[in-house]
Structure 1
Amino acid sequence: MPARDLAEVYRRFAEAEGTSPLSARVTVALSGSAEALRALETARARQPAGVLAALHDLVLAGRAPALAAAYAAGDGEAAAVAAVDTLLRTPDAVAARRPVRTVETARCAVLYPAVVEAARRAGADAVGLVDVGSVGLDHHLDRLGITYSTGQVLGDPSSPVQLSASVVGNRPVPATAVPEVVARVAVDPDPVDVTDADDARWLRACVAPDQAERAARLEAELALMRADPPQLVRGDAVEVLPDAVGRVPDGALPVVTTTWALSRYPLESRLRFLHRLDEAAAGRAVAWVSVEGVGVAPAVPTLGDRRASGHSTIGVAVLGGSVLHAEAVGRCWSRGRLLSWLADS
């Protein structure tokens, strides 16, 4: 990408950055530095969010003291100068970082009732959570607390991680607790190990340096995950799904969860994902809970909604010894902060 186009990308990112003044100021500085743009021009990972996270990672690792001081003081001008200097001194360290990974917990407010519904349909009193492609508490949803606008409270009310979500429509979410979780499995081509210092630091680096409340929440989330870390299965979910499901002990229902993960795959691969689910269910019942854009999850009804409708469909399916039947049990908006439950509880 030519430097002029790259500068425009950074300027637009800065204009859209509404939560972190420090990040916006640093991004503007990078867009206005010809030397910085040249350093980024040939880099593989040159998108603004990734570069900002890489700079923050150097700060957290103690490798960028001037930038660290500017961040600590909340000094945008000093941060701008120090960020450009840090990039020019360590271009490889900034450009060759892994993708931005963020812990998104709001989706658990949607997953929780859907997992309950899947277990109810399968008659399961124990489950294993097999999460595909996300970083966060999807496989720890039983260990956080969720308060809905209807007054319902699910999960652990004493958990250090508390969520809230709004419910619209006439039907409440199921009031039943998630069955005992006996296995937690994370499937990802590049899984994040929360017990690894470098991986955990990278998650911290993906939070802007002036978002203290978000950083504190991340620490609580990391502590929760480290207390019972998931088994990590590295690889393409389409290929390794049967192995991941096999990590769930006999007697427990494997519940595969996909939250905005299938949109990364072409239709052919999504259909193969269903085939892999069917293979995994050859000798046991397996449930699939999906939260995907309208029409993204194969076999999950669209409810007549348009693909570009701006919301996602919550799907539940139980496989094993019969033809796959998936049902849309709800809709959600804002990555799980607002939902409408449709299934009979």
Structure 2
Amino acid sequence: MTTAATYARFGAREAYGVSPAYERLALAVSQDGELLALLEALPPAKRQPNLLFAVVRLLGGPVEDPAAFHAYTLAHWPAIEAELRTRSTQTNEAGRCAVLLPVLAALPQPLALLEVGASAGLCLYPDRYAYRYGEHLLGGGEPVLDCAATGIVVPDRLPEVVWRAGLDLNPLDVTDPADVAWLDALIWPEHTHRRIRLRAATAVAAADPPLLVRGDLVDDLPALAAQAPAGATLVVFHTSVLYLVPASRRAAFAEVVRALPGHWIANEAPDVLRYDALPAPPTEVHHNVLALDGRPLAWTRGHGQAITWFG
């Protein structure tokens, strides 16, 4: 896919109905020859819309108006390029725990959680947050994660987590203000509620830091999984991570994770891990597919705001 097509798709599918600012911006960049030429001089992984927009936000640039964004990006390209080359998309959305919870709560307890692409590890605390599925409230912690649930009986208990670990090429530290600033920059401009949620989730993680290991999702996963305590159900999971991974490495990862004991939860876009005969998504906005051990279970929204169970 060309860089222009990547931005057009991001605007039309991922940002559509979720972030008007990023929808406008992505569609404008897709037709901006000057910006596309700069982006195409970068490695493919560094051209991602989320990454570019977050870097500009981090540096204090405008993302609401495409013309102002164009001018700022051209004027500050050396600084932007330097950040793009050293950073990666590491959105750490604790809200995604709301769509993972129904699966986690149904597995044999207690759980040993291992997140691939963990960023700062905020999704490793599903037992510490509270959840609101319509009128059903579960848990007493902060933040409270709202999720519209369709076709599913929501859990009546939180999972019991006895071990939590994460694997990432560049783990982030919630006690480092610079890392938290990057997590904030990755949140889309209109999403004030997600910024509030980030502050609450980072406080949870800072009080009881997880084991975060710098490593590769294929080469280093088995060794980390082997550290899970005996007597706990190992759960390897990931959310909106594999789209950043080349197809050959995705296939290698699937082979590795299937060979591990325990269970595998994937929450990825439908074209990232291929599934047969999926039902139509409930709306036109972007959805992920939630799957357990390779079996698709539900459509989910990208930030955990909704889950629609299959059949």
1:338 aligns with 2:310: no
Q: CA deviation at 1:186?
A: 0.9
Q: CA deviation at 1:84?
A: 4.2
Report the secondary structure of 1:203's partner residue: helix
Partner of residue 63, structure 1? none
Q: Deviations over 1:210-252 (max 9, x none)?
A: 6544333322232222222221222222222221212322333
RMSD (Å) for aligned C-alpha atoms: 4.3
Partner of residue 148, structure 1? 133
CA 1:28–1:183: 2 relative to 1, 3 Å: same
Q: Deviations over 1:280-302 (max 9, x none)?
A: 43xxxx2333334569769xxx6
Q: Deviations over 1:239-288 (max 9, x none)?
A: 2222121232233322212334456464785366344543x43xxxx233
- Listed as ranges, the matches of 1:322-333 within 5 Å are 330-333=297-300
1:113 alignment partner, one of 102, 122, 127: 102
Distance 2:217 2:25 in 1: 38
1:178 aligns with 2:159: yes
Report the secondary structure of 2:220's partner residue: helix
- Listed as ranges, the matches of 1:179-258 within 5 Å are 179=160, 181-208=161-188, 211-258=191-238
Partner of residue 291, structure 1? 267
Report the secondary structure of 1:199's partner residue: helix
Distance 1:315 1:191 in 2: 25
Distance 2:251 2:8 in 1: 36
1:306 aligns with 2:295: no
Q: Give the alignment's TM-score, normalised by structure 1.
A: 0.67
Q: Deviations over 1:128-168 (max 9, x none)?
A: 2111124453211111111113x3322x3231x11122222
> Identity, % of aligned pairs?
29
Q: Deviations over 1:51-104 (max 9, x none)?
A: 332222223xxxxxxx5xx79xx8x59955872475156354354242232222
Structure 1 alignment gaps of length 5 or more: 60-66, 318-325
1:130 aligns with 2:114: yes
Report the secondary structure of 2:94's partner residue: coil
**Paired letter, 2:168:** D
Report the secondary structure of 1:107's partner residue: helix
CA 1:295–1:305: 2 relative to 1, 3 Å: farther
Partner of residue 93, structure 1? 82
Report the secondary structure of 2:127's partner residue: helix
1:50 aligns with 2:51: yes
**Paired letter, 2:51:** G
Report the secondary structure of 1:143's partner residue: coil
Partner of residue 321, structure 1? none
CA 1:33–1:90: 2 relative to 1, 3 Å: farther
User: Does the CA contact (< 8 Å) of 1:105 and 1:138 recur in 2?
Assistant: yes
CA 1:10–1:257: 2 relative to 1, 3 Å: closer
CA 1:110–1:195: 2 relative to 1, 3 Å: same
Rg comparison, structure with higher value: 1
- Listed as ranges, the matches of 1:19-34 within 5 Å are 19=19, 21=21
Report the secondary structure of 1:174's partner residue: coil
CA 1:209–1:86: 2 relative to 1, 3 Å: farther
**Paired letter, 1:146:** Y
Range 126-135 or range 93-102, more displaced: 93-102
Q: CA deviation at 1:313?
A: 4.8
**Paired letter, 1:168:** T
CA 1:260–1:42: 2 relative to 1, 3 Å: closer
1:158 aligns with 2:136: no
Distance 1:20 1:89 in 2: 28
**Paired letter, 1:337:** Q
Distance 2:56 2:228 in 1: 39
Distance 2:70 2:253 in 1: 49
Distance 1:194 1:208 in 2: 19
Distance 1:56 1:185 in 2: 30
Structure 2 alignment gaps of length 5 or more: none
Partner of residue 62, structure 1? none
User: Does the CA contact (< 8 Å) of 2:8 and 2:26 recur in 1?
Assistant: no
User: Does the CA contact (< 8 Å) of 2:167 and 2:215 recur in 1?
Assistant: yes
Report the secondary structure of 2:89's partner residue: coil
1:270 aligns with 2:255: no
Q: Deviations over 1:151-208 (max 9, x none)?
A: 3322x3231x111222223x513323211x2221112233333333332222122234
Q: CA deviation at 1:6?
A: 7.2
